[in-house]
Amino acid sequence: MSKPHKLPSSYEINTINSSSLVTLTSNEVNQSGGKRREKNAPREGKFTTSDTGTVLHIIKSNLGSGLLAMPFAFHNIGLLMGSVSTVLVGVVCAHCMHILVKSSQELCYQEDRVSLTYSETVEAAFRLGAGGRVKKYSRVMKIVADVFMFIAYYGVNLVYVILVADTAKQVVENHTDFVMNIRLYALLLTVILLPIGIVRHMKLLVPFSAMANVFLLIGCSLTLYLCIRDLPPLSSRPLVVAVTRWPLFFSTAIFGMEGIGTTMPIENAMHYPAHFLGCPGTLTVGMTVVAFAYFFVGSIGYIRFGDEVQGLVTLNLPQDILSESVKVFVALSILFTYPLQLSATVDVFWPMLRHRFSEEHQDRGYYLVRGTLILGTVLIAISLPHLAPVLSLVGALGFNGVGLMLPTVTELATYWDHLKKPFGLTIIKATAILIVWAFATVSGTISSINEIINAFLIT
């Protein structure tokens, strides 16, 4: 008889009744009667990634346009509170990634599977966890996960359209007498977004991703160089601002730092999945670099521009050739990232609609859905062309749910029968995170909507 499965020592095991032992023991044998795959066993295949490659993927997936929005986030909380809160957000985001992957690895072991996607992990946690008491909610929770993922990553595409349109408008007006409403710039982007966004296969997106990485690296490096020049004294910036503006900081910071949607694909591609967690695991190393980058860019950008800082710090740069080049590089980076981000959205949305198309019309239906989603981002950008509050709104509605709430309830469902209740450390921690999620979502959404309304009134 095989040995009963032992849960990680970090979990508080109260008592395990005989039925729990039977369940865990039976999971040692797969459905075909063969030997169960070893937990976190190395994955085979020529496309698996090394530990170093995984760290680089984690850094890349969390360093995007949100990095350049951090100075505006600091503007909404102050220099001192911004510094402390950036570290706090980084720790919480990393922890939620940790518990999601930990739960996924446990569920993969129970189901004898090599990997699970984000929504599959949430669904499996409710289907298999808590002694079956929450099984009836598994399908609903998978839908909830898909909805939050859709809001988050479709919102990213929306932010990209606004950002590129805003940059194009500024560069054109800085060097010509031509003046045009930002909504028309967003509309004109359709000519570019449709052909590059309609690309279906990931292999064909590699050139776009490569160009995006190069442009972003150049843009961020030059932005930091321009910000560091002629820095005013630290005393010129408030250490703390009105607490009513703090929700905008957290929404923006979570929008930028929360790359949890790519966490599962990255872990699923590792050759040694056991190295993802732990200290120092690849997740810890990668997120340490990410948190430092967000702190550095956010503080330097805010010190440089203060209350004049815009939704993306590149929009504050002067009108000289070097600064304008930076704006163009960053805009191109975001433009070429658009199709890759859209693929994440389509992967969530298409399975919900594919049954509506006959077998012979599957390809046509796929491209119709993808094209409609592209036009949707343009139309919403035309309706809401204000970058900073829209970015915060996406963070509040989408990334708070994807990054805070769902990983927490997934961990609780997975390990519920093995936790000390009601005052075990995991229960207390989960309660705290869920309270933060509820507060951040409600306050961030209200603050963002108020900012959008004020922006409309001003214009």
The mean-pLDDT minimum among 267-281, 390-404, 444-458 falls in 267-281
Q: What are the φ/ψ torsions at residue 389 (nearest 5 degrees)?
A: -70, -30
Whole-model pTM above 0.85? no
The pLDDT value given to residue 371 = 93
Asked if 73 contacts 253 with a C-beta cutoff of 8 angstroms, the reply is yes
Asked if 122 contacts 414 with a C-beta cutoff of 8 angstroms, the reply is no
For helices 79-111 and 282-305, give the axis angle rounded to 10 degrees: 160
CA neighbor of 162 nearest in space, from 399, 340, 384, 395 = 384
Q: What are the φ/ψ torsions at residue 49 (nearest 5 degrees)?
A: -105, 150
What tokens were used for 168?
């194009």
Asked if 307 contacts 79 with a C-beta cutoff of 8 angstroms, the reply is no
Indicate whether 257 pLDDT > 70: yes
What tokens were used for 136?
């009836």
Q: What are the φ/ψ torsions at residue 41 (nearest 5 degrees)?
A: -65, 150
**To 10 degrees, the CA torsion angle through 395, 392, 217, 315?**
170
Asked if 60 contacts 289 with a C-beta cutoff of 8 angstroms, the reply is no
Residues 6+ positions from 430 with CB-CB distance below 8 Å: 408, 409, 411, 412
Tens of pLDDT, residues 264-293: 777 777 877 878 887 788 888 988 988 998
What tokens were used for 281?
């695991």
Please name every residue paired with 35 in a beta bridge, in sequence order, or none if there are none.
Answer: 29
- In the chain, where the domains are located: 45-168+228-315+384-458
Instruction: Give the model's confidence band at 36: pLDDT under 50 very low, under 70 low, under 90 confident, else very high.
Output: low
Asked if 98 contacts 279 with a C-beta cutoff of 8 angstroms, the reply is no
The pLDDT value given to residue 112 = 85
Instruction: Give the model's confidence band at 79: pLDDT under 50 very low, under 70 low, under 90 confident, else very high.
Output: very high
Asked if 166 contacts 186 with a C-beta cutoff of 8 angstroms, the reply is no
Asked if 158 contacts 394 with a C-beta cutoff of 8 angstroms, the reply is yes
